[in-house]
């Protein structure tokens, strides 16, 4: 991969939860893998009055207190700028960036990473323009980019007033997953799959992301968001687009983005009658959750794509908290065939992708059972991606931050696609279906099974 040039990386919200869980560990991994620039500085920003040494101590704790020369070299490049950052008051950030530039070079690439709640995006964006920190900079926005159709449009106007689209990196970390990228690699690099990637051969597609985890560690954020906004209109829609997009003209960032965003514009607005919302029992007892909260912790939806390739093929999307199993699975269900064996069983042939961790690919098929008879038995072949020679899987945040550093926007979202995604989900936001309850540790509301009938949800380990 490319080696980025000298960089000053500004991390807004540097002592917050997202930075602790994702961004700082990813930066440490990049350093250990030799994927950072030869000259770099990370400047943390926050409202508190934190010294450089205290911030280094915080990062040391976040990373599990590593030692040795590697940590010393890493820590020496960490700084903190307190006092917040607003249009009227930049705090100490301008001074700290000036110091960083004297260290790594006046022409260093400036990267701003907004690991802050979405409500803070507009003010920080305006402040970047006000304090001359926007020109030629790259700016990373965490999801969700807007929390409603109107909020998206307002935020997009603010961003476009300060930044050119080429400077904007809107993260959806599901696009950075190794196996998500294999969705288009397997298809476009292997004619055996490319030839059957259409409505003639595919009966349905399932994108299933159940989680056993609850929301206790981020109850305030989640209660204001819910499964539909946190997962459906973001991760699940983006994975659906990755599966459904037309072959791009090339693998350039512009062509990959264009293909992904074009198919999102073909998403039919969701029918609330084909959406199931749920809330696990006991959710309202969680500290930080409103006593009469109507927030959905579960959503299942049937998505239709109105174009010649996919017309009539249901995309079945499901995610929820406190469910029976944690999994991130895509299942391409092929149509049951006819022939000398008669009608074959439904769901006999399924191409599955495990999106978690390093990822895996599995294919279920029917084979002759060894013996004197001619009996068919289901069988499966599995390819864990870590078994490929010299495989070095990257965590999604590691991959995406590296892409920002080298200026590759292939795996980031665009405003036209996001606008279409909000349009597709709007009927459910305007007229949400009745909220069902479900028991923690279950598979969610039973009525979601009707969405897949006469089939079934295929969650389970890759065989």
In DSSP notation, 328-394 reads: -EEEEEEPPP-STT-SPPTT-SEEEEE-STT-EEEEEEEEEPSSSS--EEEEEEEEEGGGSTT----
Question: What value does the mean pLDDT of the chain take?
Answer: 91
Per-residue pLDDT, 459: 79
Check the annotation: does 38 bind a ligand.
no
The pair of three-digit structure tokens given for residue 154, joined into one six-digit string:
């307002």
pLDDT in tens, 201-219: 999 999 999 999 998 778 8
Q: Percent helix, strand and coil across the chain, each rounded to 5? A: 40, 20, 40
Other Cβ atoms within 10 Å of 283 Cβ, number:
23
Is 70 exceeded by the pLDDT of residue 271?
yes
Active-site residue numbers? 235
Residue that the structure tokens 């149509």 belong to: 335
More confident position, 46 or 179: 46
- pLDDT band with cut points at 50, 70 and 90 for residue 260: very high
Check the annotation: does 16 bind a ligand.
yes
Is 90 exceeded by the pLDDT of residue 183?
no
347 burial level (CB within 10 Å; 0-12, 13-18, 19+): middle
Mean predicted confidence (pLDDT) in 118-144:
95
The residue count for the chain = 463
Residue that the structure tokens 């030799």 belong to: 34
Most confident segment among 176-190, 293-307, 384-398 = 293-307
Per-residue pLDDT, 185: 82
Q: Specify which residues 10 forms β-bridges with.
A: 43, 112
Is 60 exceeded by the pLDDT of residue 1?
no
Q: How far is it, in rounded angstroms, from Cα 142 to Cα 222? A: 15
Other Cβ atoms within 10 Å of 460 Cβ, number:
12
Architecture category of domain 174-395+408-452 in CATH: 2-Layer Sandwich (3.30)
Per-residue pLDDT, 216: 79
More confident position, 410 or 462: 410
Check the annotation: does 17 bind a ligand.
yes
Round to the nearest angstrom and report the end-to-end CA distance of the chain. Answer: 33
Q: Specify which residues 208 forms β-bridges with.
A: 318, 329
> Are 293 and 223 in contact, with CB atoms under 8 Å apart?
yes
Mean predicted confidence (pLDDT) in 425-436:
96
pLDDT in tens, 374-403: 777 777 888 777 766 666 778 899 999 999
Check the annotation: does 173 bind a ligand.
yes
Is 70 exceeded by the pLDDT of residue 461?
no
61 burial level (CB within 10 Å; 0-12, 13-18, 19+): exposed
Check the annotation: does 19 bind a ligand.
yes
> What percentage of the chain reaches a pLDDT higher than 70?
95
Check the annotation: does 402 bind a ligand.
no
> Are 124 and 116 in contact, with CB atoms under 8 Å apart?
yes
The pair of three-digit structure tokens given for residue 351, joined into one six-digit string:
């191409």
Check the annotation: does 306 bind a ligand.
no
Fold of 7-142: Rossmann fold (3.40.50)
Q: How far is it, in rounded angstroms, from Cα 351 to Cα 333? A: 7
Check the annotation: does 143 bind a ligand.
yes
Task: Name the residue ranges covered by the structural domains of the chain.
Answer: 7-142, 174-395+408-452
Mean predicted confidence (pLDDT) in 272-294:
95
pLDDT in tens, 324-348: 999 999 999 998 766 666 666 667 8
> Are 284 and 292 in contact, with CB atoms under 8 Å apart?
yes
Phi and psi torsions of 90, nearest 5°: -80, 5
Check the annotation: does 67 bind a ligand.
no
Mean predicted confidence (pLDDT) in 48-74:
94
More confident position, 259 or 180: 259
Check the annotation: does 177 bind a ligand.
yes
Is 80 exceeded by the pLDDT of residue 437?
yes
- pLDDT band with cut points at 50, 70 and 90 for residue 463: very low
pLDDT in tens, 136-152: 999 999 988 888 899 99
The pair of three-digit structure tokens given for residue 222, joined into one six-digit string:
């989640």
> Nearest to residue 448, comparing CAs of 233, 252, 208, 170?
208
> What percentage of the chain reaches a pLDDT higher than 90?
71
Is 60 exceeded by the pLDDT of residue 252?
yes
């Amino acid at each position: 991969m490319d080696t980025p040039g000298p960089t000053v990386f500004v991390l807004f919200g540097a002592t917050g939860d997202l930075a602790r869980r994702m961004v700082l560990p990813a930066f440490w991994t990049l350093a250990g893998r030799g994927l950072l620039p030869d000259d770099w500085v990370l400047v943390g920003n926050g409202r508190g009055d934190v010294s450089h040494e205290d911030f280094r101590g915080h990062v040391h704790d976040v990373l599990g207190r590593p030692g040795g020369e590697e940590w010393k070299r890493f820590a020496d490049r960490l700084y903190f700028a307190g006092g917040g950052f607003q249009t009227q008051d930049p705090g100490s950030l301008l001074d700290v960036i000036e110091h960083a530039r004297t260290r790594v070079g006046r022409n260093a690439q400036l990267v701003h990473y907004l690991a802050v709640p979405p409500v803070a995006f507009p003010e920080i964006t305006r402040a970047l323009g006000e304090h001359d920190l926007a020109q030629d900079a790259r700016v990373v926005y965490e999801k969700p980019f807007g929390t409603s159709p109107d909020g998206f449009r307002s935020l997009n106007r603010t961003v476009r007033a300060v930044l050119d689209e080429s400077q904007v990196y809107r993260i959806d970390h599901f696009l950075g997953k190794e196996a998500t990228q294999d969705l288009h690699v397997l298809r476009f690099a292997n004619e055996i799959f490319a030839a059957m990637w259409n409505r003639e051969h595919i009966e349905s597609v399932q994108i299933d992301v159940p989680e056993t985890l609850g929301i206790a560690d981020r109850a305030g954020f989640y209660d204001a968001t819910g499964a539909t906004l946190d997962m459906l209109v973001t991760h699940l829609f983006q994975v659906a687009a990755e599966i459904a997009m037309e072959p791009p003209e090339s693998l350039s960032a512009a062509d990959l983005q264009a293909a992904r965003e074009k198919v999102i514009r073909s998403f039919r607005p969701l029918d609330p009658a084909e959406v199931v919302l749920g809330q696990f029992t006991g959710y309202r007892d969680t500290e930080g959750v409103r006593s009469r909260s109507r927030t959905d912790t579960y959503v299942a939806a049937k998505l239709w794509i109105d174009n010649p390739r996919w017309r009539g093929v249901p995309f079945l999307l499901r995610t929820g908290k406190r469910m029976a199993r944690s999994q991130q699975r895509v299942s391409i269900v092929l149509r049951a065939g006819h022939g000398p064996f008669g009608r074959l069983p439904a769901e006999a042939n399924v191409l599955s992708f495990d999106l978690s961790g390093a990822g895996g690919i599995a294919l279920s098929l029917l084979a002759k059972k060894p013996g004197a008879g001619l009996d068919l038995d289901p069988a499966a072949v599995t390819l864990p991606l870590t078994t490929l020679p010299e495989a070095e899987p990257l965590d999604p945040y590691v991959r995406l931050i590296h892409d920002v550093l080298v200026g590759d926007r292939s795996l980031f979202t665009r405003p036209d696609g996001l606008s279409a995604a909000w349009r597709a989900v709007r009927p459910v936001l305007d007229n949400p279906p009745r909220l069902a309850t479900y028991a923690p540790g279950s598979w969610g509301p039973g009525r979601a099974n009707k969405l897949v009938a006469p089939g079934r949800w295929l969650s389970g380990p890759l065989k």
